[in-house]
Each structure stands twice: as C-alpha cells, then as structure tokens.
Chain A
C-alpha cells in the first residue's frame, strides 16, 4: 500500500529512549501504558482495546475538550505484524465507537480518498536503552488529533491551488 509514496507522504521519527526494550514494547501494546502517553495535548484516551495478534483489531478513543463539550474520535485498525520487542505494524482508520470504518465522505474528504494509514514501530535493544523508529505512512482522511484547523487548511490549500490554476 506504500508503493509510489514519497517521503512527503510518510512521517519517520527515530528516537532513543532511556528504557529497556520490553517496556518500550509495552508502551505500544499494553492499553494502560498506551493511554498514558498517546493522547495529543488536551486529549485523553478513555478506551484502548488491543487484540494483539496478526489480524487482530484495535480500537482507540480519543477524547478532546472543546468549548462545546467533550468530543470523541474513534480509530480502528488491524495488526499486520506483531514481533514482540522488535516490530509492530498496524493500520489506522477513523471509525465509530463500534469500529465501523467511516467512509471518506463521512469525514468530510472527497470520495475515493484513502481512509487507512499504516503505523510501523521498530525497536532496537541498545542494552537498557531502546532505539525506536516510527513510520506513519499513507494519506489519511482523518484530521490530526487536536489540530482543529486541519480541515480549514485543506480547504485553504485547495483554494490556493484553484487560484493558481486560473
């Protein structure tokens, strides 16, 4: 699914953590640990269900405080690769609370827009420390977490394109 995607279509972050590889694995695969760090600023993770096996599903709820009250965003996905302490690959799509994937039009994107992205985590044991490489690939139809201006920015960028094309 990543064929033809350039570096501008992927986020790659490499970072070392002062934690053993086993704990780093739990950061991603133990719901209680995952909830503690995953939510973007101003968001919490009230639900994180993880059926940790290839083909198993995951369901994560992000709760954001807005002036109109709490807003919930649900994300579902499937585990593609589960190699303990080494490699974790899962897909991610915006969904409802039952894990039904929302179509592009439900999320306000043009029809035919891909709705699924893929997150890959690679861990390397550095003896007490861990090197982590996170790659997030795809063209998402969801908005980036708390950044509420993303949709407006898309519209604006499209508008700019249109003006330039004239």
Chain B
C-alpha cells in the first residue's frame, strides 16, 4: 500500500461509510471476524440486503473476506479506516466541493455581467 491517498478511492470509502447499517457492521467487525449470518443477526434485514452492504464495504476495501468454503467470514481491514479518520482527509472533500461551487458561482457572475452589458 502506498502512503499517497488516491482521491477516487477515498471517495469510495466515504460513500461506503455514509450509511448507518454499514457503520454498524464495521463496528461489529471491529470486535472480531464474523460470518454474514452472524452479521445479519442484529438487523431486521434479509440476508441478501446485508450481503449487498458487505459487498459495498468490500469494494471500498474496508472489509476483507476469507476464502474458506461457503462461510467466507468477514474481517475488518483497519488500514483504510485509519486513512479516512484523520480529520484532514475528512475535510478535504468538504473544501473541494466548496471550491467547485465557487467556480460555478463565478461563472454565473460572469454571464450576468455579460447580460448586463448587452442591455
């Protein structure tokens, strides 16, 4: 793993964390590995929908799954979580989005000025 944080990957991690069920799954896994059945227990959810959440976490690199037979126990991959838990990396997307809006707003102002001149 490199120390440089890839922007896209980070966005994926944030998207995966922006869901309370998935955070609860991670919190459960922080206490130790578990099978999908075990993870589903505390939730009033069907196995397929829990599986979907786990797949999102897996794609985001937050959860790894064992290869062992049909159980394929889930485990937490804490490295990714540590990466986003530094505040600076949590703030970066907030600022990036702000500056995107600043850019849009400046474009708006420019077109308004042009219209004003035409009148």
Contact = CB atoms under 8 A, between A and B. Distances in A.
B17 interface: yes
A154 B97 contact: no
Interface stretch (B39-47, B66-74, B87-95): B87-95
Nearest to B22: A149
Interface range on chain A (Cβ under 8 Å from partner): 35 or more
B31 interface: yes
Contacts of B103: 17-18
B96 A149 contact: no
B64 interface: no
A147 B84 contact: no
A152 B85 CA distance: 11
Contacts of B49: none
A14 to B, nearest CB: 10
Given A40-B98, A154-B85, A136 B91 contact: yes
Contacts, number: 99
B111 interface: no
Interface in A32-48: 33, 36-38, 40-41
A130 B9 CA distance: 29
A11 B85 contact: no
Contacts of A150: 90
A147 B94 contact: yes
A93 B32 CA distance: 37
B91 A11 contact: yes
B88 A159 contact: no
Given A163-B30, A163-B31, A153 B84 contact: yes
A13 B23 contact: no
Contact of B86 (A8, A13, A164): A8
